[in-house]
Amino acid sequence: MKRTPIYSRSARKQRSGAASHPSPGGQAQPQEAAPAPPPPRPPRFVRTRAFIARRERMLLMVVPVLMCVLMFLAYLSLVPGERRFTQHDIDAAVLHTLENNVLPSQESKAYARIRPSVVRVVQEGEQSGPHKGMRGVGTGVVIIDKGVILTNLHVVGTDDKIRLKVHFANGHVADAIVLRRQPENDLAVIQALSVPDDLVPATLRSTQGLAVGDKVVAVGFPFNIGPSASSGIISGLKRTYMSPRDNEVLRNLIQFDAAANPGNSGGPLITMSGEVVGIVTAILSPHEQGSFVGIGFAVPIEIAAAAAGDSPF
């Protein structure tokens, strides 16, 4: 009995023919199998998430650093660059200041420096008129903060019974006594019996280096008005003056043309730095009342400080 084939022979031949081809020698050669296709790539966002998941710890450290760098760069871009000032900028700024601000003069600064050290010296006694109770008024300058004051001998007089009052810059008033007299230089040293807590002594400067034409300021109480300041220049050095009162001759004086009148006696003659170079002692005047005509004299500070017994020169 003939068996019916399950598969047709033609189909087997067809598959067999597709699987092999006869070689030139008549033998069939097997054909290589085709490579398997690559698996499909996952979507981009899936790959990104996987990358982040694998490097999560590193990203947690790097991202903040990058953020800080970006913020710093943004800050630098907003900050204006440093400007270099030129000489033209400096000159323009100085000119603007001078045009819009009134600066104090040298004389004003010198007066402000010496003012706390200048005192009014008053002889007290019986006298009629508007200055009743006042025999004479002059000026003095504090040279030691304990209340040691330089002035003129003709301001305090030669009588020890004369009562002296000293009026300080802050309004404090004190009795005073005469410590020393030096008639040959018309100088006196007095001591205030009480002093303000903030008393400031004057700064003394040697007359070495002074020259004719240097600016000076005379400070005092002319005609009991003041304190007053007047400016001028040094008109001469090593001058000699004879007092019309007692024919006393004073030598080695500083001549100046800053206005001085009765009451300026004993006051300081100062430089533009506010330093004392002399004690105003006399004026040369043809008038009987002794008004100022442009010539004044001061005792050099070296001589005046030596009279106080404490010369720094």
Q: Has 194 been annotated as catalytic?
A: no
What is the pLDDT at residue 6?
Answer: 55
Question: Structural domain boundaries of the chain?
Answer: 109-307
Q: Has 154 been annotated as catalytic?
A: yes
Which tens digit of pLDDT belongs to each residue from 124-149? 865 445 445 557 899 999 999 999 99
- For residues 225-243, average pLDDT: 94
Which tens digit of pLDDT belongs to each residue from 5-30? 555 555 444 444 444 455 555 555 55
Residue type, 275: E
Query: pTM for this one?
Result: 0.68
Report how far apart the first and last C-alpha atoms of the chain are (Å, whole number).
Answer: 160
Q: Give the Cα separation of 97 and 205 in Å (integer).
A: 32
Right CATH for 109-307 from 2.40.30.130, 3.40.920.10, 1.10.1200.10, 2.40.10.120: 2.40.10.120
Structural contact between residues 193 and 158, judged by C-beta atoms closer than 8 angstroms: no
Considering the candidates 228, 230, 235, 265, report the single residue annotated as catalytic.
265
Q: In 3-state terms, what secondary structure has residue 214?
A: coil
What is the pLDDT at residue 266?
Answer: 96
Q: Has 206 been annotated as catalytic?
A: no
Considering the candidates 117, 154, 167, 257, report the single residue annotated as catalytic.
154
Q: In 3-state terms, what secondary structure has residue 46?
A: helix
Considering the candidates 186, 230, 231, 257, report the single residue annotated as catalytic.
186
| Strand partners of residue 23 | none
